[in-house]
């Protein structure tokens, strides 16, 4: 099941706000049931099985009452089978499957039999009746080939791959995936292609063909990166469209203002000419009125200009916050992906090499006592520990499991060593801040401690964190060598830029107090609602 957030939102909105209400107004219950079935399929494809089951049940109730022999009822039954199988409600799925079979029984040549067998195979796979699942798949493939249902035929192949994978027949499973890639129907969609490449990497690893597993994993990453780039291009295009629309609206507003001013000037001119005929006495009155009106217009125009400039500044600030948020989220996603790849991929491979080397040496007594061998194994242990340390540093699991205060305490203990003591003093830290805010605060403090250790050569560090409502305060002091703060304006670095970006994202303020040989104090004030 592929999840397309943009398509899901659009189709769901059209179905709920237009299609279903129009069918209800037309008093066409069969069409209402049809849209209910379509909506349940959309929800199923987005993993919302409870809602999907509800709409599918509503469609079935209407069709069983209005048209019990309708093909729409068959499709509703089969859609319900898929929903309840994915939701592991096999008893309900079995009843719907039986009802669908009863509808098809009078029509042995129906072209809907392949779809029935596809759902029957899904039911058997869910209940782990793999031999029955293979029988259903073979029947469905035969009919799909007969009726030239290419897409469904390839889906049957993928079902057979799932069965072979469960049965640990990895060689057969891999060959099926290779056939699917060669045929090309299922890999036409980028998301499906990425999923199949990922399965090929997994099955190759199970066959201990690590070289080919790495090759398929690389292809999967290429496709995934391509999907990400395409989504980024779409977002950029949307932003550009919105920006141009805003520019057009500004031009229209400017033209309307000019027209109003021209109309006002014309009216004043006509009034002036009419009043001119009344004589010199009225002329003075008119001149005074024109002067007052002109001054008011200038004041009004000046105020409009000020308001317009303020709106532009606010729009720029909001846009900068959106860009910073997207950048920080992208950075965290990439950290998570790299950490997962290091821990699950390279870490597992290094551990496998160590286990294999140890097992090999144990079967050879003459070699098992070799000091070089033991040194190599210890180096592997050190490499595995270092890799896991890096992965842990990139994704703070403690933050996700226990919250910010525990994560910061763990971070301070992690950095401490002989000759370096870090004192952590928390005050009134809330436990229910948004996760992205907690993560940003964690990264800010992580960067501060890293800078103090790397550049300040400090022996003692004091970290104080406190919170007052939506305001979060950070103070970090070290007894290091200090530096001239005037150099910060000229110094550029990725760490300092990331620190400033995260503080800006939370609408915060940064103050650095330092001088040579007197240590450094950093004060930061953050708004925990600053990203909303």
pLDDT in tens, 418-448: 889 999 999 999 888 888 888 889 999 998 9
Question: Is 278's pLDDT higher than 60?
Answer: yes
Q: What is the pLDDT of residue 232?
A: 47
Q: What is the pLDDT of residue 395?
A: 63
Rounded to whole angstroms, the Cα distance separating 7 from 42 reads: 10
Assigned token pair, 414: 């992690």
Q: What is the pLDDT of residue 294?
A: 75
The answer for 465, left when phi > 0, alpha when psi is -120 to 50, beta otherwise, is beta
Rounded to whole angstroms, the Cα distance separating 200 from 212 reads: 9
Q: Summarize pLDDT for 25-39 with one digit per residue, the tens.
A: 988 988 988 888 988
Rounded to whole angstroms, the Cα distance separating 83 from 92 reads: 10
Percent of the chain, pLDDT > 70? 80
Question: Is 317's pLDDT higher than 60?
Answer: no
Place of tokens 């910010």: 404
Q: In Å, how far are 129, 155, 157 from 142, measured between CA atoms?
A: 20, 13, 11
Confidence of residue 5 (pLDDT cuts 50, 70, 90): very low
Q: Summarize pLDDT for 182-214 with one digit per residue, the tens.
A: 888 878 877 788 888 898 889 999 999 889 888
Assigned token pair, 418: 């002989």
Instruction: Tell which wins on pLDDT, 293 or 277.
Output: 293
The answer for 457, left when phi > 0, alpha when psi is -120 to 50, beta otherwise, is left
CB 67 within 8 A of CB 79: no
Place of tokens 């629309």: 245
Q: What is the pLDDT of residue 82?
A: 93
Q: Summarize pLDDT for 64-110 with one digit per residue, the tens.
A: 888 777 788 889 999 999 999 999 999 999 999 999 999 998 988 88
Q: What is the pLDDT of residue 297?
A: 78
> What is the mean pLDDT of the segment spanning 137-152?
89
Q: What is the pLDDT of residue 267?
A: 81
Torsion of CA 31, 32, 34, 36, to 10 degrees: 170
Q: What is the pLDDT of residue 421?
A: 93
Q: What is the pLDDT of residue 522?
A: 94
Question: Is 8's pLDDT higher than 90?
Answer: no
Q: Summarize pLDDT for 461-496 with one digit per residue, the tens.
A: 999 999 998 899 999 999 988 888 877 766 665 467
């Amino acid at each position: 099941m592929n999840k397309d957030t943009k398509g899901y939102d659009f189709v769901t909105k059209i179905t709920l706000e237009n299609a279903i209400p129009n069918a209800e107004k037309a008093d066409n219950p069969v069409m209402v049931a049809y849209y209910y079935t379509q909506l349940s399929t959309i929800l199923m494809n987005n993993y919302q099985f409870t809602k999907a089951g509800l709409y599918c049940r509503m469609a079935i109730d209407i069709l069983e009452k209005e048209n019990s022999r309708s093909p729409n009822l068959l499709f509703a039954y089969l859609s319900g089978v898929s929903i309840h199988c994915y939701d592991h409600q096999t008893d309900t799925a079995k009843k719907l499957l039986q009802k669908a079979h009863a509808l098809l029984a009078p029509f042995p040549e129906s072209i809907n039999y392949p779809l029935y067998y596809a759902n029957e195979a899904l039911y058997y796979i869910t209940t782990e009746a793999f031999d029955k699942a293979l029988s259903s798949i073979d029947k469905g493939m035969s009919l799909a080939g007969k009726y030239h249902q290419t897409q469904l035929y390839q889906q049957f192949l993928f079902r057979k791959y799932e069965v072979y994978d469960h049965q640990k027949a990895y060689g057969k499973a891999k060959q099926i995936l290779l056939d699917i890639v060669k045929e090309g129907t299922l890999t036409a969609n980028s998301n499906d292609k990425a999923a199949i490449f990922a399965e090929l990497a997994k099955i190759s690893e199970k066959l201990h063909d690590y070289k080919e597993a790495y090759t398929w994993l690389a292809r999967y990453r290429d496709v995934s990166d391509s999907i990400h780039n395409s989504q980024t291009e779409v977002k950029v295009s949307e932003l550009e469209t919105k920006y141009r629309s805003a520019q057009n609206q500004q031009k229209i507003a400017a033209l309307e203002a000019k027209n109003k001013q021209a109309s006002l000037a014309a009216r004043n001119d006509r009034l002036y000419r009419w009043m001119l005929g009344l004589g010199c006495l009225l002329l003075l009155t008119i001149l005074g009125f024109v002067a007052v009106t002109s001054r008011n217009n200038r004041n009004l125009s000046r105020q409009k200009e000020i308001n317009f400039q303020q709106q532009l500044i606010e729009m720029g600030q909001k846009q900068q916050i959106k860009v910073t948020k997207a950048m920080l989220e992208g950075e965290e996603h990439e950290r998570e992906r790299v950490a997962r790849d290091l821990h699950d991929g390279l870490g597992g491979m290094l551990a496998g090499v160590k286990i294999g080397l140890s097992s090999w040496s144990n079967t050879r007594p003459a070699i098992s006592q070799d000091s070089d061998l033991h040194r190599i194994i210890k180096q592997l242990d050190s490499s595995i520990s270092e890799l896991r340390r890096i992965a842990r540093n990139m994704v703070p699991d403690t933050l996700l499991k226990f919250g910010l205060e525990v994560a910061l305490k763990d971070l301070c203990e992690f950095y401490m060593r002989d000759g370096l003591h870090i004192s952590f003093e928390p005050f009134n830290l809330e436990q229910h801040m948004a996760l992205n805010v907690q993560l940003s605060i964690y990264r800010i403090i992580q960067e501060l401690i890293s800078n103090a250790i790397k550049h300040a050569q400090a022996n003692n560090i004091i970290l104080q964190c406190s919170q007052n409502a939506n305001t979060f305060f950070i103070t970090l002091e070290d007894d290091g060598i200090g530096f001239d703060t005037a150099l910060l304006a000229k110094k550029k670095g990725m760490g300092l830029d990331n620190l400033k970006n995260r503080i800006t994202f939370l609408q915060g303020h940064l103050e650095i107090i330092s001088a040579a040989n007197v240590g450094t104090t950093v004060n930061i004030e953050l708004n925990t609602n600053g990203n909303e």
